[in-house]
């Protein structure tokens, strides 16, 4: 990923937070069958390993877990948000007519070594933790015990666990940091007004940081 200095985000804690807040990642592998990409939810264990460990699971019918070998290098892409930015939103454009369209976004790339965890205890733990995390906001959270033991056991046999030790984290937070403060502020407010609040709020926070 090309990361100009303006947009570089290398703080591990910031990238870990992005992953926790946006855990649905794209797993990119290059196994025996060539390049492949799978879209799956991950759980991050930030204290494990040097840069954290990612756990996930895939359907047993998904060939990805057979296509890679233990220790293979993989990449997981986590995207927080993205939004188109029109040059018309920059006050400076109307004075100097030098701005062009762009696209702002916030992403984290986690590179690591994969291990296939085809064991019931590991998979059960992953499913249980993912369920607790993502059901927590529900009025009546679903629990694994809401289904029969037979159904859960059958489901667990139909999936395979993945464990990825993160070896490198690369972050890119593109929020028009290379523009004037007034341009960032104006574009951020416009994005918020049209519903792109994540990028809009991040741009306004960027204005605060630049002004501090």
Q: From CA 59, how far away is CA 38, in angstroms rounded?
A: 11
Question: What are the residue boundaries of the structural domains of the chain, listed by start?
Answer: 5-179
pTM (predicted TM-score): 0.92
State pLDDT tens for residues 112-161. 999 999 999 999 999 999 999 999 999 999 999 999 999 999 999 999 99
Q: From CA 95, how far away is CA 83, in angstroms rounded?
A: 24
Percent of the chain with pLDDT over 70: 97
Q: Does domain 5-179 have CATH number 2.30.40.10?
A: no
């Amino acid at each position: 990923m090309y990361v100009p200095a303006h947009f570089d985000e290398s703080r591990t804690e910031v990238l870990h937070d992005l992953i926790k807040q946006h855990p649905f990642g794209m797993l990119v592998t290059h196994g025996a069958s060539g390049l492949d990409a799978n879209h799956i939810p991950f759980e991050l264990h930030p204290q494990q390993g040097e840069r954290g460990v990612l756990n996930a699971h895939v359907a047993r019918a998904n060939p990805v877990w057979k296509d890679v070998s233990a220790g293979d290098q993989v990449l997981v892409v986590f995207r927080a948000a993205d939004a188109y930015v029109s040059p018309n939103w920059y006050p400076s454009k109307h004075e100097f007519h030098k701005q062009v369209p762009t696209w702002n976004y916030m992403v984290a790339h986690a590179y690591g070594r994969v291990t296939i965890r085809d064991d019931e205890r590991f998979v059960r733990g992953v499913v249980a933790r993912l369920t607790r995390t993502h059901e927590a906001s529900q009025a009546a959270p679903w629990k694994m015990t809401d289904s029969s033991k037979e159904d859960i056991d059958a489901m667990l046999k139909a999936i395979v666990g993945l464990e990825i030790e993160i070896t490198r984290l690369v972050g890119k937070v593109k929020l028009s940091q290379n523009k004037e403060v007034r341009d960032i502020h104006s574009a951020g407010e416009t994005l918020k007004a049209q519903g792109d609040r994540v990028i809009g709020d991040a741009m306004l926070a960027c204005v605060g940081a630049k002004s501090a």
